[in-house]
Amino acid sequence: MKKVALLVVFFVYSCSTAYSQEPLRFARITNTPDQMVGSEILKLAYKRLGIPIVIVEMPGKRALVESSEGRIDGEVHRIFRVGKDYPTLI
């Protein structure tokens, strides 16, 4: 019975921390139509998961630097070959 009570407390605590989290920040390259579509898809997907996000517009080079150095959580999307030059990005 103690194990069940401990599990209940654990799940209640873990759920409450999920709702109080800071929004994830994603960079969107300015004035790029496919980035605009991609950001709307990200917003919808994360909303369904209950995870708040913020889309930040910035130039492409700045977005790459910000994401590769961990100052933002990610980018809306990038071309595949960028990963070869920036191993911190997946």
Tokens of residue 2, six digits: 């103690």
pLDDT digits (tens, 9 = 90+) for 76-89: 998 888 878 888 88
3-state secondary structure (DSSP) of residue 25: strand
Please tell me the pTM assigned to this model. 0.71
pLDDT attached to residue 39: 97
Domain residue ranges of the chain, discontinuous segments joined by +: 22-85
- Note the pLDDT of residue 18: 53
Question: Distance (Å, rounded) from C-alpha 9 to C-alpha 78?
Answer: 41
Each residue's pLDDT tens digit, 17-52: 455 589 999 999 999 999 999 999 999 999 999 999
Closest CA to 27 of 82, 85, 84: 82
28 neighbors 64 (Cβ within 8 angstroms): no
Report pLDDT for 4.
44
